[in-house]
Amino acid sequence: MEEQKSTTEHDDLPALSTSHDAVKESDHFIGCRGYWEATLEDAQAGNAHEHSLRIVTALKAYPMAVVWSLVVSMSIIMEGCDTALIGSLYAYPRYAQRFGALDPSTNTYQIQAKWQSAMGSGPQAGAVVGALLNGYLIQRFGYRPAFTLGVVLMAAFAFVSFFGMSIELQAVGQILCGVPWGIFATIGPAYASEVCPLPLRVYLTAYTNMCFATGQLVGAGVLQSFINRTDQWSWRIPFAIQWIWIPFLLVGCIFMPESPWYLVRRGKYVEAEKTVKSLMSESEKPQARPLVALMIHTNDLERDVTEGTSYWDCYKGTDLRRTEIACVSFVGQITSGAQFAYSATYFFQQAGLSPDDSYKLNLGGTGIAFCGTIVSWFLMKQFHRRSLYLTGMSLLSMWLLIIGCLATDSKNPTIKWVQSVLCIVWLLTYSLTIGPVGWTIPAEVSSTRLRSKTVVLARSSYYLAQIMANVMQPYMMNPLAWNWKGKTGFFWFAFAALTAVWAFFRLPETKRRSYEELDVMFHAKLKTRKFKKYHVNVYEDNRGDRLREV
């Protein structure tokens, strides 16, 4: 039997061997600080223990892992809130009057399409910068320093939007705020996937979508509350709401534990074990050593395939397929028609509804989306990721097609209400399927050594797609530009349908698979639709026996 050799990121530290013979020759190794030992059998026990956990048991065994995942992901509420604000402020009477121009044909104030595009796509440009910066920060310094920087930048940049009294400053403020949003959006799912056990992984990565929906609900509620104000505070107070979260997040920055996977990649096994224990209940702590051994074993398996941890390594070998899946599944949240549905307030008004009715309907829609995200947790327990994603994308494309078809009949006064209801149905479908699952897949499908960078690339792809969508969407809807109104549904239907076709042929099933099992399956170049059918034993000496169809 050929011995498999590997080293840690510190040259003087031998790693956990993947060979039984090697374990017999050296059944321990030295960590960065103090004495630390584990064997391949420990890693195997850790893998078996993770698979044996059920949801309720895992919640009791890892209470602090759940708490810290919730705290870190809570930062995404600010992105969701501001996204709702910007998309809805275009139609906000006082905001449009302050920063827009009078449209003689409708006798209403309209913000020019070019500034709608700038404020809509500018934050995504900033978010791409923040996401790419975050990939470097996490690899070099860890999750906690990166998260702290994001919170500080968010607190500072919110001042520009709050005090900006010109359309130019409003655009600059949104671009700057995009930088910490990019940091938060890539830390949330990656951190949750690294501190939570296997049964909780999907729920706490999908929780990031609930935070996004929470932010949108808060934003819609605040706008509805101040719509009847006739002064500048009707739009300035909604921007100030973002500062509410900053004190809580700063406290979190001080006490949040570092990811044990990051510590393992740095060779700090003793610290990794201490961190894992801090996330566990007292009765679960004997499992800390096997779980750290499992992390080291998984890290070694991945290092056999790829030596590097740079962005370029995400496009090499089997990681190219994993990066494709992560990126396209995230971009699917845009190609599903999100920019159309999430600018619903503006669409409602262009369809002929009054501002008051539009904001009430938008508030109801965001409330339904919030409830749908909660229900999605139960759906993810019963159904597979691939099934939810494929079904959701197919339904979303159908709703968009119907909205577009209804727009061809402009004389029927009831059409605007039917289209508005279909937008709400779209929001519900999205929050049940594509929304939460789209956050889960990139964190699950990426290799652990390249996770932060794969999630960054996936989220950056999302932002780039969002930039293009935000540039085009105002022109499609604005009466001073293309004035497509409901016919915009045809445009987004085409992209949603194409994404559904991609998911059918390229999206594998990852439910109940550990990271090392996924490593073996991707390395074996298993066909997409066979991921659900195979049993994996990563501890077989013969690599050919590790996969078996069941």
Residue 151's alpha-carbon distances to 119, 141, 155, 188, 253, in angstroms, are 21, 16, 6, 13, 8
Distance CA 40, CA 506 (A): 33
Chain centre to alpha carbon of residue 443: 8
**pTM, to two decimals:** 0.77
Residue 531's alpha-carbon distances to 194, 311, 458, 506, 535, in angstroms, are 22, 26, 21, 11, 9
Q: Which fold has domain 317-511?
A: Growth Hormone; Chain: A; (1.20.1250)
DSSP category for residue 258:
P
Domains 63-259 and 317-511 share a fold: yes
Q: What is the pLDDT of residue 543?
A: 53
Each as own residue / partner, the long-range contacts of residues 412-415 (CB below 8 Å, 24 or more positions apart, any chain) are 413/352, 415/486
Structure tokens at 79: 């992105």
Distance CA 549, CA 531 (A): 9
Q: What is the pLDDT of residue 442?
A: 92
Contact 217, 367 (CB under 8 A): yes
Q: What is the pLDDT of residue 291?
A: 92
Q: What is the pLDDT of residue 349?
A: 62
DSSP 120-144: HHHHHHHHHHHHHHHHHHHHHH-HH
Distance CA 415, CA 254 (A): 53
Print burial letters for 463-492: b (CB count within 10 Å at least 16), e (below 16).
bbbbbebbbbbbbbbbeebeebbbbbbbbb
Distance CA 343, CA 339 (A): 6
For the chain, the structural domain boundaries read: 63-259, 317-511
Distance CA 189, CA 207 (A): 8
Q: What is the pLDDT of residue 236?
A: 87
Alpha helices in 383-511 (DSSP H): 385-406, 415-432, 434-445, 451-477, 488-506
Predicted confidence pLDDT, tens digits, the chain (550 residues): 333 333 333 333 334 433 333 333 334 443 333 466 777 788 888 888 888 889 899 999 999 999 999 999 888 888 888 777 776 676 677 888 888 877 776 677 778 877 877 787 788 889 899 999 998 899 889 999 999 999 999 999 989 988 988 888 888 988 899 899 999 988 988 899 899 998 898 888 888 888 888 887 888 788 778 877 778 888 888 888 888 889 999 999 999 999 999 999 888 888 999 999 999 999 999 999 999 988 888 888 777 666 567 888 889 888 899 999 999 999 999 999 988 876 666 666 665 666 667 667 777 777 888 888 889 988 988 889 999 999 999 999 999 999 889 888 767 777 777 887 888 899 899 999 999 999 899 989 988 888 888 999 999 999 899 888 877 887 787 666 777 777 888 999 999 999 999 999 999 999 888 888 888 889 888 889 888 887 777 666 555 556 666 5
For 63-259, the fitting CATH number among 3.30.1330.10, 1.20.1250.20, 3.30.1450.10, 3.40.50.620 is: 1.20.1250.20
Residues in the chain: 550
